[in-house]
Amino acid sequence: MHKRFTNARAQGSNTLLDRRKLLMILAATPIVVSSARAESKPVRIGILSGEDEDIWHIVQDNARADGLTIEIVTFSEGNPINAALAAGDLDANAFQHGPYLEAQNAALGSHIVPVGNTYFAPIGFYSKRWKTLSALPDGATIGVPADPTNEGRALKLLQSLGLLKVSSDAGNMPTVLDVSENPKNLTIKELDDPVLARSLADLDAGVVITEWAYKAGINLTSERLARESMENNPYINFIAVNQPDAHATWVLPLVRAFQKPNVRAKLLEAYHGAIIPSWT
């Protein structure tokens, strides 16, 4: 009887020790919280208002079929979109190209990275007065965008057309101060994008961003003297996220939802061929 009691007591003691060991192990084990987004939580993506909304409604449907919910957040201009992403108010955005993001990361101290191409919006050189480049007179007044990234882009387009030369030290964001040769004695006017697009009739010609040319009613074919090539072009637009999210489980489905044939068709339709899908 005493032996049985002793064995039972020993077994109880062992059980208690086992429980203590288990509690110690659990206490010492770090709790790992999965970084994967719960399927019920939508991915908040910032875009510019306008035609892109129609595009992203199709992307929403594509993503839903892949188990991902997208919430679209629209902005009237680009600058606040990166700030919202950097602050964690958005999960992703889709509106910008590489040089613009580079400038924004430097200004915001952010670490936003591209994760998948969307489209290429080639800037065009437009005129309501002249039908060909050769007809452009000496001393012509040319409008370019006033923001640093797109002004540099415009000047490089003018350089590629042989109208001027930009200093090789200027990098990706030259300004009119970096024009080193101006054989046609052009007057370059820096104007805000919407003003530039609406003022084309008052200029000899202007380098206008596709979106603003479209909104201003500029004829994207008959009034276009030239436009950029997509080959080796750093100005291809993309979906971007904060660097820690670059390999999050929801990123690939998000990119895949955009890079679909029905999105390609809608891009070409909505922008009448002025915007080119930039994925293979």
pLDDT of 271: 81
Contact 125, 158 (CB under 8 A): yes
Tokens of 52: 């892109």
User: What contacts 8, CB < 8 A, 6 or more positions away?
Assistant: none
DSSP assignments along 201-236, one per residue = GGSSEEEE-HHHHHHTT--TTTTEEEE---TT-TT-
Q: What is the pLDDT of residue 270?
A: 84
Note the pLDDT of residue 40. Answer: 62
The pair of structure tokens assigned to 139 is 């001393």
Which residues sit opposite 137 in a β-bridge? Answer: none
Q: How many CB atoms lie within 10 A of CB 67?
A: 9
CATH code that applies to domain 124-227: 3.40.190.10
- The secondary structure of residue 243, as a DSSP letter, is G
Q: The CATH number of 43-121+234-277 is which of 3.30.750.24, 3.40.190.10, 3.30.390.10, 3.30.450.40?
A: 3.40.190.10
pTM summary value:
0.75
Q: Is it true that 43-121+234-277 and 124-227 share their CATH fold?
A: yes
Q: Are 197 and 215 in contact (CB under 8 A)?
A: yes
CA geometry: angle at 48 spanning 47 and 52, to 5°? 80
Per-residue pLDDT of the chain (280 residues; tens, 9 = 90+): 443 333 433 444 444 344 444 444 434 433 333 334 444 689 999 999 988 999 999 999 999 999 999 999 999 988 899 999 999 999 999 999 998 999 899 999 999 999 999 999 999 999 999 999 999 999 999 999 998 888 999 999 999 999 999 998 887 789 999 999 999 999 999 999 999 999 999 999 999 998 889 889 999 889 999 999 898 899 999 999 999 999 999 999 999 999 999 999 999 998 878 889 999 8
* Closest to 62 measured CA to CA, from 225, 199, 235, 265: 265
Q: Where are the domains of the chain?
A: 43-121+234-277, 124-227
- Crossing angle of helices 51-65 and 251-258, in 10° steps, is 120
pLDDT at res. 79: 87
Length in residues, the chain: 280
Distance separating alpha carbons of residues 131 and 239, to the nearest angstrom: 36
